Amino acid sequence: MKSRLLTVALGILTAIGGFLDAGDLVTNAVVGSRFGLSLAWVVGVGVVGICVFAHMSGKVAAVSGRATFEIIRERLGPRTAGLNLVASLAVTVLTLIAEVGGIALALQLASSVDHRLWVPVAALAVWLVLWRVKFDVMENVTGLLGLALVGFAVAVFLLGPDWGDLGAQLVPQVPAQESAAVYWYFAIALFGAAMTPYEVFFFSSGGVEDRWTVRDLATSRLNVLVGFPLGGLLSVAIAACAALVLLPAGIQVDSMSQLTLPVAQAGGTLLVAVVIVGLVAATFGAALETALSTGYTLSQYLGWSWGKFRRPAAAPRFHLAMILALVVAIGVLMTNVDPIAVTEYSVVFSAVALPLTYLPILVVANDPEYMGEHVNGRAMNVLGTVYLFVLVVAALAAIPLMIATEAGG
Amino acid sequence: MTNRRYRQPARWCVLAVLVLGLGGTVAACGPAATRSDDAGALGSVSDHLDDASSAVATAELAVRERAAGRLPAVTADVAVGDAVETATGAVHGIGTLVIAADGAGRVRDDALDAASGAVGPVAAARTWLGRPMSPADGVLRALEDAAGGLDDASGVVERERAQTAARAERATP
Amino acid sequence: MRRTRTGPRDLSREPEPQQPGRILDARLHLLDRQVLDIDDLPVCTLDDLELEVAGGEPADRVPAEDGRIDGSVPVVISALLTGPVLGTRVFGGRPPASRWYRLPWAHVSDVGTVVHLSVRSAGLDATWLERWTRDHVVGRIPGGTHDPEGSG
Amino acid sequence: MIASDLLDTPVHDDAGAHLGWVVDLRFVLDGRPSTYLAGARLHGLVVSPRTRTSFLGFERSDVRHPWPVAPLLRWLHRGTFLVHWPDVARVPGADDDTDRGRDPVVVLRAGYVRYEPGL
């Protein structure tokens, strides 16, 4: 019993720590420094969405033993699924680039060594972990270290804001100096940051890696339902830090180093150090997840042997795909592209790519042939349908808004 | 093996969407797009001035926190280093804009002066970080002056932009 | 185009008689499913099906003059196909039969949410690229045969 | 013959009228028994009169969720029927794709019978 409690606690803690990635960090800071907390509601919408989505894909993985992209191929056929594969792979590799760049930027904060020098080191470290380390060790270590981002929440308290004032900001409204189109563009970016497709690929394939069965469903549900909302609260805490310190100072966030300034003001050197550890762990964990997701999607579409639980020699093409993805990430980052800009684009394209991934999961979660008695209940289906609409609207609006607002300019 | 009659239009649709999407992205996100008229160019100047102000504010905050011993030296160095990059980027951005009208051109030159004037203090802040014991007052004062200069330039640009836009409105009823 | 009357109570459709065996629809139950070998190791995705006139039929029932098959002869699945047929399913066309990787239907042991084979994947043509990658790329990187679940 | 020679192919009746497209192939496992599974006999073609895009099969199952995807697709595929294999008079051959004069089509015999497609 005690060990079970420990497992649940560990699962929740890793879910909190694993929720945040470079996309969440950057987007929340940017939004906080421009819009205050007036977009915090989007984080709520995104968190409920990722809970619904992750829960369904986890359930499908546990009951049928099929991971998300196998389902996508089975249901949509090779042509539509192939299109989805191209889109998802592009977004996932873009996110991987952002995460590897994020590791490098976070390491730069602790070392003052230029981030471009850290990129190959970070990518090599990611590969070594993928190559050698056991799946649950990898998941738990990065998740627990990522918990250090709680430093942002601590910072909000230490800053001692006028809580009534901060609460009043939570009301959705377009600030006077920003246009409605820009507001909605960033709403979609925040939504895409909370609900990235790779999280779902990782979550469902991870369920297969951990050999989930129907009995593990309750645990997985608890991890998701408790861990992700708490992770979402951390996102809001980052936005709040930016809103309390950077917004009044007229600072627009365009680098990761600016994230540490509110923390320094609130908690001093020690808290900054804690947050930097959190930044490295969160981006590193997300880099692992996105790299794995490139391997998962490709292998599952083409029916290759995959999984970290297998020896690399037993899943050679899966490992080769991940190596190539990391090489691409290094190559792109070496062109001197700004990782923050890559991150900002990746979250918007995430929103575009989501519906094609979401729909097959929703369909299969209702299919008794796969799910037996575990098909979606009525409440889950109502939520699922509501989110299907939200996702489609966000996906259709994302690119026009990006063009109209010159990517939030 | 499928009916060609039904596949051809679908292909053209996909191609059209692709071309429109790419063209739209280039047209809207490319720097030369709607910004080629003077009002648009002044809008760009204004955006760059905001970037420079943000960089100055970042450096100021980082120096304050460092002086109070709340920010580790390396982190402060990175923050101010990023600010220097942003500030020089803004100078480069303003300097390379093409503006036709004389009045708007003068405003741009003033903005360029203000932005260039901000780079020095931000870089000086980075130098100061390397000498931990010296007082920060001088550095902070220089940063505040730079921020003031940027604010003034920003106000002038905004006014000129409004006038240019109004003139353009009258010219094309 | 002749329009047909539609709806759930479509009287123009006869009720389907009870069939003597399990029913499988190609797209719904077979195509694009994961194929696993006897040790549950993924082999491939089922990309296409090869259909042949059922063996053991009298020769005069095979319309051989133009190689065309029609409803007068019984047809069965002779093999599951994978490989380049995926490309032609996506983009259209048809690869030459020499490019198909065939997994004979006789080796299929079960069809559920996955298709199970009764043979090991190690000896199959369909997995040669997997073996090549293992022997010539991944196996040459140090630690390639290390078992991650074994010792941390 | 491979399955994709038949899938998505237009279906005509013996008079040449367009009836729809082959959206699926139905097999029945009642062929020659072997160690594991009986041989899979091609039992019939599932023909949809309106659209070729069949991937979810709602018109053949009792699944009504998720709304609105399931009802929408079921409605799109209304009128889908099954024809038994012996009612098929001609199927496209391997060389039809290069034969420019003739589109690959499945032709049904006169007096073919439409069956309920439900599983």
- What are the structural domains of chain C? 26-139 (2.30.30.240)
Please give the distance of CA C128 from its chain centroid, rounded to a whole number.
17
Q: In chain C, whose CA is at the least distance from the CA of A318? A: C130
Of A94-98, C96-100, D96-100, which has the strongest mean pLDDT?
A94-98
C94 touches chain B (CB under 8 A): yes
In chain A, what residues touch D68 (CB-CB under 8 Å)?
Answer: 385
Burial degree of B72 (CB within 10 A; 0-12, 13-18, 19+):
buried
Task: Examine the pLDDT at A248 and tell me if it is beyond 50.
Answer: yes
Determine how β-strand D10-12 pairs with β-strand C115-117. unpaired
Question: Given this model, what pLDDT does residue A264 score?
Answer: 94
Token pair recorded at residue A46:
């995104």
In angstroms and rounded to an integer, the radius of gyration of the C-alpha atoms of chain C is 21
Determine the average pLDDT of the residues in A197-208.
87
Q: Give the bridge partners for C24, in sequence order.
A: D27
Chain D closest CA to C89's CA: distance in Å?
7
Q: What's the confidence (pLDDT) of residue C63?
A: 47
CA distance C98 to D59: 37
Rg (CA), chain A: 20
Kindly report the nearest CA distance between residue A238 and chain C, in angstroms: 34
The verdict on ipTM greater than 0.90 is no
Cα(D83)–Cα(D8) distance, integer angstroms: 15
D20 → chain B, closest CA residue: B3
Rounded CA separation B75/A273 (Å)? 9
Residues 6+ apart with CB under 8 A from C91: none
Contacts of B22 in chain A (CB under 8 A): none
The DSSP H or E segment spanning C77 is strand C75-82
Q: What is the per-residue pLDDT for B29?
A: 61
Specify the pTM: 0.91
Element (H, E) at A156: helix A150-158
Do residue A70 and residue C34 have CB atoms under 8 angstroms apart? yes
Q: Range of D102's domain?
A: 3-108
**What pLDDT score does C64 carry?**
43
Question: Rounded to an integer, what distance in angstroms lies between the CA atom of residue A399 and that of residue A312?
Answer: 39
**What CATH number matches the domain at B33-171, 1.20.120, 1.10.357, 1.10.15, 1.10.720?**
1.20.120
- For chain A, which chains pass the contact test of at least 3 CB pairs under 8 Å? B, C, D
Which residue type is seen at B48? H
User: What percentage of chain A carries pLDDT values higher than 90?
Assistant: 50
List of residues 6+ apart from D28 with CB closer than 8 A? C19, C20, C21, C22, C23, C24, D40, D41, D43
Residue whose token pair is 């300019």: A409
Question: CA B75 to CA A261: how far, in whole Å?
Answer: 9
Who wins on pLDDT, B161 or C149? B161
pLDDT given at position B31 = 54
Please tell me the distance in Å from C49's CA to the nearest CA on chain B.
Answer: 15
Span A81-130, pLDDT tens digits:
998 899 899 999 999 999 999 999 999 999 988 999 999 999 999 999 99
Residue C34 has pLDDT above 80, yes or no: yes
Residue C62: predicted pLDDT? 46
**Phi (first) and psi of residue B45, to 5 degrees:** -60, -45
Report the neighbours of C using a cutoff of 3 or more CB pairs below 8 angstroms. A, B, D
Give pLDDT tens digits for C50-92.
Answer: 988 886 554 444 444 455 677 888 888 989 999 888 888 888 7
Residue A303 is encoded by which pair of tokens?
């029916």
Going from the C-alpha of C47 to that of each of A72, A73, C79, D93, the distances in angstroms are 14, 10, 11, 20
Can you read off the two tokens belonging to residue B38? 């003077």
Query: Does the beta carbon of D114 lie under 8 angstroms from any beta carbon of chain C?
Result: yes
The pLDDT confidence band at residue A40, using thresholds 50, 70 and 90, is very high
Residue B17 pLDDT: 82
What is the rounded CA–CA span in Å between residue D107 and residue D88? 6
Among A138-152, C63-77, C87-101, the range of highest mean pLDDT: A138-152
Q: Do A311 and C35 lie within an 8 Å CB cutoff?
A: no
Q: In this structure, is residue D28 part of a structural domain? A: yes
User: Is the confidence at residue A207, as pLDDT, over 60?
Assistant: yes
**Mean pLDDT value across chain A:** 90
Domain count of the fold of chain D: 1
- Distance between CA atoms of residues A228 and A120, nearest Å: 31
One-letter identity of residue A233: L
Mean local confidence (pLDDT), B126-142: 86
Residue D87 domain-assigned?
A: yes
Quickly state the pLDDT bin for C152 (edges 50, 70, 90): very low
The answer to whether A303 contacts C82, with C-beta atoms less than 8 Å apart, is: yes
**Which residues on neighbouring strands pair with residue A376, listed in sequence order?**
none
Tokens (6 digits) for C151: 């010792």
A202 burial type by CB count under 10 A (0-12 exposed, 13-18 middle, 19+ buried): buried
Among candidate residues D8, D7, D21, the one with its CA nearest the CA of residue D81: D21
The distance of D67 to chain C (nearest Cα, Å) reads 18
Pairing of strands D10-12, D106-108: parallel
Question: What fold, for A2-404?
Answer: Amino acid/polyamine transporter I (1.20.1740)
Q: How many residues does chain A have?
A: 409
A1 or D33: which carries more pLDDT confidence? D33
Collapse the DSSP code of D23 into the 3-class scheme (helix H, G, I; strand E, B; otherwise coil) and give the result: strand
The predicted model gives A228-244 an average pLDDT of 93
pLDDT of residue D95: 57
- Catalogue the E-assigned strands of B56-134: none
Binning pLDDT at 50, 70 and 90, where does residue C126 land? Answer: confident
Q: Between residues A377 and A323, which one has the greater pLDDT? A: A323
Query: What residues in A contact B61, CB-CB < 8 Å?
Result: 245, 249, 251, 261, 265
The residue extents of the domains of chain B are 1-30, 33-171
Task: Give the closest of A76, A80, A367 to D63, CB-based.
Answer: A367
- C45 pLDDT band, cuts 50/70/90, is very high
Strands (E), A219-265: none
Closest chain D CA to residue C73? D86
Return the CATH number at D100.
Answer: 2.30.30
Domain locations along chain A: 2-404
C2 pLDDT more than 50: no
Q: Determine the distance in angstroms separating the CA of A262 from the nearest CA of chain B, rounded to an integer.
A: 9
Q: Does D30 touch chain C (CB under 8 A)?
A: yes
The 10 Å Cβ neighbour count of residue D94 is: 15
Average the pLDDT over A48-73 and give the result: 89
CA nearest to C67, candidates C25, C97, C87? C97
At C72, phi and psi to the nearest 5?
Answer: -75, -15
A386 pLDDT more than 90? yes
Give CA–CA dist D45/D12, Å, rounded: 13
- In tens, the pLDDT along A283-315 reads 999 999 999 999 999 999 999 999 888 889 889
Average pLDDT taken over every residue of chain B: 84
